[in-house]
Amino acid sequence: MILKTAKPNYKQPQPEQFIVQATDVTSGEMYRYPDEREEPVLRGISFDIRIGECWGIVDNEPFELELLLQIIANVRPYASGRCSLAEQGMMRRKRRILPHVFFIYGGDTVPGNLNTLEYLMYVTAHRGIPDRKRQATILQALLDSGLYYLTLVPMKQLTMAERAAICLLSAAMSKALLVVFSVAELSFPPQLAQGIRYVVELIKKRGGAVLIGARDCGFIQTACTHAAFMVGGEFRKSGRVDVMLKTLDQRAFILTSETPVKLEEAIHIASPNLQTYRFDNEVHIYVRNGEAISQTKLMHILLDAGVTLDTIQTSKPTLENAYREVLAGHVI
């Protein structure tokens, strides 16, 4: 975790709309291939983060994720394009954490000799709030976020994901306009993800924004308002999470059968317009081009074909499956 304390004469920016504006950002870091061809690790990255938004960047390559977040936070320079924070330009080659940015890198640098409450009291001590009031605020936040069970647990006994969540809570109590949460190597169980969602809301309500880099699609879906899928150093799809779920995840049903090959063949014969993918004993049915099919109609198709099922389940859209669709090239 990296903390930056503002200088006494520092004047906080007051952006009207945007916290981050990135246009065609390309990294200076390069991939070199066996044929000596070189290619930038990140190419043509463009997106805007407005006040009150939480963006989650998803990528299976931790290095690419961390590089992008470090560029946005002004930790690393970039080769070309334009990036501004809080509607102010950034020096392309200047590497420093700006006072209005709170950068969290996992949770491995958190001191382990303090418990959670002591740690949060320690890192917020310089903010000029009386101890009792500050302690009451911290305890209320731990309670409301559902992270109260961590209050008296020594930091060294917390998982890396739990430490990162506590670091994010300390960021919520700062005045940072942008909180960067770089957690590409971590996975967040549902209870912890819900707690982080509450903390993200605290940051948004005070006029800040959050940028998360992770491989955990379920966590991004829970915590973020917006998401971007990065593949091979480029953004493939980005936008509001709710819109991406509707447009990218077109899986309609999940069927299980002891004879999945026969089941898939019967579906193709009875209804050629339905697209299927087989995974072990499961057959996933996708509906393309907005064509809808009810579970009742599907059952009639299967009964007429003489196929029996073990189970049929209506698929609930998920960001993880949307990402799989993009990776598989099913979404253009």
Tens-digit pLDDT string for the chain (332 aa): 444 444 555 567 778 899 999 999 999 999 999 998 999 999 999 999 999 999 999 999 999 999 999 999 988 999 999 999 888 876 655 666 778 899 998 766 677 689 999 999 999 998 888 999 999 999 999 999 999 999 999 999 999 999 999 999 999 999 999 999 999 999 999 999 999 999 999 999 999 999 999 999 999 999 999 999 999 999 999 999 999 998 898 888 899 988 888 888 888 887 777 888 888 888 988 876 656 678 888 888 788 777 778 898 888 899 998 998 898 775 54
CA–CA dist 107, 163 (Å, integer): 5
Domain residue extents for the chain: 18-241, 250-316
Picking from 74, 67, 23, the residue whose alpha carbon sits closest to that of residue 41 is 67
CA–CA dist 197, 54 (Å, integer): 10
DSSP, collapsed to helix, strand or coil, labels residue 270 as helix
Topology annotation, domain 18-241: Rossmann fold (3.40.50)
CA trace torsion 74, 77, 79, 81 (10° rounding): 10
pTM of structure? 0.87
CA–CA dist 24, 188 (Å, integer): 31
Q: How far is CA 142 from CA 150, 158, 166, 192, in A?
A: 8, 15, 9, 12
Topology annotation, domain 250-316: Alpha-Beta Plaits (3.30.70)
Residue 185 in contact with residue 211, Cβ under 8 Å?
no
The domains spanning 18-241 and 250-316 adopt the same CATH topology: no
Residue where the block lists tokens 């390559």: 61
Residue 82 in contact with residue 24, Cβ under 8 Å?
yes
